[in-house]
Structure 1
Amino acid sequence: MSDQSVVPAQTSAEKVERGVERALFASRWLMAPFYVGLMIGLFALMIVFLRDLAVFVTKIPTAKESDVILGILTLIDLSLAGNLVIMVVFSGYENFVSKMEHVPTKDRPEWMGSIDFSALKMKLLASIVAISAIHLLKAFMNVSAMSDREMMWLVVIHVTFVVSGVLMALTDKFASSAK
């Protein structure tokens, strides 16, 4: 008598199911080009940041205080947008494609691998609200260049982002407490 385990033969339906599941699982790699594209976008954002920084630095000696503040806000705005891209790329890749196992532990950001989809949504919305707030502040500081109607729409859009963020946070809180 042999001690071999008997493996039941797979039906053709089970083989098809297994093949479909493998293909679906492998399809996650279709997202990788999106993340590479976002990194190219980040590079473009860096070029814009460096250009704006160069213009800002050359104007500092003759700039008014409000112009310096507007210049700094522009740089902060671009920095927040860059951080947003990094968060989406790292979190999206790790959540939907593959773990980044080849990143040295000492260089690995603390939040990497710990941001789930819900947390990513909240961080994205928080960044969008911050970017919107900076644009609104820049508009208020440069109010002469904008009509009342344009200013009103900036405020309405910003308030919409803020309310959306609060509602999304409440929804996530209720969903997590229901678990």
Structure 2
Amino acid sequence: MLEKPIEKTIFFSRWLMVPFYLGLLVSLAVLVVTFVKELGHLLAHAFDATEADIILGVLALIDLSLAANLVLIVVFSGYENFVSKIDATGHPDWPDWMTKVDFPGLKQKLMASIVAISAIQLLKAFMHIDTSAAGTFNSESLMWLVIVHMVFVVSGVILAWTDAIGSKGHGDAGDAH
């Protein structure tokens, strides 16, 4: 007697995720403001900055772009996978991935973005090695950046490997039926 109302309540509870996705869209707007600010800073110093400063500025813009992509991936695929299907009909410019990323694919894209962001942060730190004044270079911080980046890389490989094993297992089980 209670089973149906409980199941309906559980099924309806997926809509509680919507404020999270809307909040992420607000954070996307904050990233846009930050991107414009960084771009303005880069343009203001374009003629008097060193090559390393320009590269670091461009890397900061790429980093923000990757973070924004990450937010979009989470919003679209999270909403599609956990809340409700998105109707893409009538939208010829709608990217295919937006309605086709399943949860394992979402994990892969998230991990790839995190690894890329981590790599950019590491590259920025390496770029600062040459520009830092004597005595201000912190090799311990650089070591931790490398360690954290490698943890992300290894985690991504393990995640991809376990997803491949899981999908192979599902394929075998489907063939047996």
Instruction: Please report the TM-score for the alignment, with normalisation by the length of structure 1.
Output: 0.89
Name the % identity: 53
- Aligned residue number for residue 110 of structure 2: 124
Q: Partners in 2 of 1:146 and 1:40 — Cα distance? A: 36
The question of whether the paired residues in 2 share the 8 Å contact of 1:122 and 1:168 is answered with yes
Q: Partners in 2 of 1:172 and 1:102 — Cα distance? A: 27
Runs of 4+ in 1 over 2 A off after TM superposition: 102-105
- Say how many residue pairs are matched: 165
Q: Deviations over 1:60-110 (max 9, x none)?
A: 011111111111000000000000000000000010001122663313111
* Aligned mate of 1:95, from 60, 68, 81: 81
- Aligned residue number for residue 43 of structure 1: 29
- Aligned residue number for residue 94 of structure 2: 108
- Aligned residue number for residue 170 of structure 1: 161
Instruction: Please report the TM-score for the alignment, with normalisation by the length of structure 2.
Output: 0.90
Secondary structure of 1:101's aligned partner: coil
Amino acid at match of 1:28: R
Q: Give matches, 1:22-101, under 5 Å.
A: 22-101=8-87
Give RMSD over aligned pairs: 1.1
The question of whether the paired residues in 1 share the 8 Å contact of 2:46 and 2:54 is answered with yes
Larger-Rg structure = 1
Amino acid at match of 1:91: S
Q: Partners in 1 of 2:15 and 2:73 — Cα distance? A: 18
